[in-house]
Structure 1
């Protein structure tokens, strides 16, 4: 209770509690902040509930701040900015669901206990009455916290029937908190998955993204596959469990992909260029081999090949991420990383020229740092000698990239002459010829490095003369 007391005395909790008490209304801190206080974690989002109506909540908040918003008024939620912190206060709810669209028939209640009983899991169905500091725990959430168990306040059938998205939340919380899902709830995940079909793609995308952004998403991905929910969210992942037979042995692509995800997260966390979890990198790590099932071939002698799985996988990733309503930038970046993730392995077959290194950087563009990490993470061999060889080769490549970047500002490779200069030198107007001349100079730049304006002009005129003669 020490952390709970400290939380209750902090801003903006204390002034809110005082204001609601003075106005004659109940107020309780609810859900995540209370749970996290018991777990010794910092509270990120402050959610409150009250017997006050939305209009009454606004009236109380107006005594504390001018920054309020009522975008969630229809659901009883009013937001405010108090002492620089965002808070949300929701009127007690006693909703019912139509079981077809998961949209609740909103009904305001007058009991904190009833409000808590409609929440997703017992560990989130905790409240701290303010300012009295009375813990309200009608469903045994504290005991489940201590045991590390996720369980629904009502039966899983009722809870997931009311809101099927809670099935994905169960998996996300299991990964986020490191909790086990109790047997009855786990069985419901496996048998009620079909009801996710009434959930919008956007909501599924958001929950899946939150899972991937947890410190250890592998646990959650494995649960998605084991319960069958992955078939409804991202079926390409369970498809990676390629069949083995006694004659054609090959690496377990599913387990390999999970290991790549783990290793990408370790590398991400070790680099200062990443301020927090990177969704694009984690999606690319998980999905980098999803083209393998479609390209699998059994060759003579028991060799298994997956030719062009990088290109095929990139196309599959685009399709899946579009269906999940990811934004265009995320779709493009993930697909591009998958397409490029094998490019490095040609480096181990022979030293690249400077122009090849420049092209590697040019093709990666702003994704270069992510591509560095994805390529390193993709090494999961148990052959220590081979692992060391690949690591050394990539160290060498990164060193060369850094050296060339320092010499040439390679991150923004451009020809020595721009479009205006090309038109002036050749005496031509805007059109296809200017574009072709620009691409010619860009190839010269990539092959030979900076040429200088005089040399670039000489080569451009030679190219143009030869073009005119032909």
Structure 2
């Protein structure tokens, strides 16, 4: 036996051991299917992740049993059952903390106009594996027999960390163009490379991604952004032209030279900022922070100007960038709150610059904190991540300036409740003092007092009442 064969055999053994260690219910479930005259195989990502030592609590199985037969097999054994995927041959169950999906062998055909398959059940495990996206996801382990099936060389690909398709990539991507985006996602999540023929097909067929719904593209993109190495995935999207299909602003950054760092373009700067932002995460992937880092400079192409001296500027690109961010994320069907958070971070990411010149008053600090609101920790991370200069002295000065700002925020926060800046008089007090009922006047008075609070800090009761009466007189409001 060759060294390669021995290595692959050992990997198989480790995979089975991992599966049995993490999922002791697999054999029990397999015995129930065998007793009913069916076969059952752990399949796809579950086998791949077992080989990588990262198997989670979601397990995928495939079987020759039809969905109604699967329901009969798991009846009384499963702790819960869901049938939302039954029309596609999938029955979901839960058992001992595991989420299990069991799908009937498939032999789907695609109309190649939409991505929706014409669901056809198959009778062959090999044919079922052939219809899967990549060879590393086309491996299976039978239960309870533990026979390893790998007809398309997925184990070798896994050892080489490469993505190939079971059939030709052109055939696979024509069936489901989303697989091209999934290749970039796996490059991000698993740090895999795509095979040359897969890369070529992605470039030639990128336009087919237009057949895919925005929601499905969004979901794959979020997984890519939250992967271990989103930079690799993003480069693949841009280099193959896939980004042009749903995020053209990213590719557009390649042509824009950043006035703060003439040694690199804005595209390269952006990727560095994304990488820096990842380094600031404390509790796992933060999509909002990573997306804000990716989008923070997309307003530059629309605002680029060259001065008489040849200097490049991008005035108000943060404002334009926030607007473009909202438009792009809305088109991709992101939730409104996620869109709002990312766009606000883009809009605020330049606010810090100028602090080091000593221009900020306590009022400016209060406004910075209030405008950021609950996004303040992310804004801290984004602002620090945006420092990519190779000038060590400049980088150190910017870091020191931001340290000073954070210390100043902490000092003012200790003296005032910056997390909840409110006027010193509430609505009831305003109505009582002015002698007015609920209405627009109360709202205007409230906003005026909030501006005073931001400008001057907390006022005592007498000062607040005096300021309110002074405002009312200027507005021509008669008071009791």
**Are 1:54 and 1:76, in contact at CA under 8 Å, matched by a contact in 2?**
yes
Q: Equivalences for 1:43-442 in 2 at 5 Å?
A: 43-242=56-255, 251-268=264-281, 271=282, 275-442=283-450
- Normalized against structure 1, the TM-score is what? 0.95
Gap runs ≥5 in structure 1 = none
Q: Summarize the Cα distance change of 1:243–1:362 in structure 2 as closer, same or farther, 3 Å threshold.
A: closer
Give 1:409 shift.
Answer: 2.0
Cα distance in 2 between the residues matched to 1:160 and 1:166: 6
The secondary structure found in structure 1 opposite 2:141 is: strand
Deviation at 1:355, TM superposition (A): 1.1
Q: TM-score, normalising length from structure 2?
A: 0.93
Whole-angstrom distance in 2 between the partners of 1:171 and 1:154? 19
Offset at residue 51 of structure 1 (A)? 0.9
Q: For 1:128, what is the secondary structure of its paired residue? A: strand
Residues 56-75 of structure 1: CA deviation (Å, up to 9, x unaligned): 11111112124101000010
- Give the conservation status (yes or no) of the 8 Å contact 2:187–2:229: no
In the aligned structure 2, how far is the partner of 1:417 from the partner of 1:276?
Answer: 41
Counterparts of 1:195 and 1:130, CA distance in 2? 38
| Cα distance, 1:385–1:44 mapped onto 2, change above 3 Å | farther
Q: Deviations over 1:296-345 (max 9, x none)?
A: 11112220000010001111111111111111111111111111100000
Partner-residue secondary structure (3-state), 1:57: helix
**Residues 1:8 and 2:20 aligned together:** yes
* Separation in 2, partners of 1:169, 1:249: 34
Question: Unpaired runs of 5+ in structure 2?
Answer: 1-12
Aligned length in residues:
463
Superposition CA RMSD, Å: 1.7
Query: What is the Cα deviation at residue 157 of structure 1?
Result: 0.8
SS of aligned partner of 1:415: coil
Residue of structure 1 aligned with 2:471, choices 457, 463, 467: 463
Contact 1:249 1:302 in 2 (8 A): no
Q: 1:162 to 1:302 in 2, by over 3 A?
A: same
C-alpha distance in 2 between matches for 1:192 and 1:16: 41
**Residue number among 423, 437, 456 corresponding to 1:448 in the alignment:** 456
**Partner deviation per Cα, 1:396-427 (whole Å, 9 max, x = no partner):** 11112122223222111111111111001111
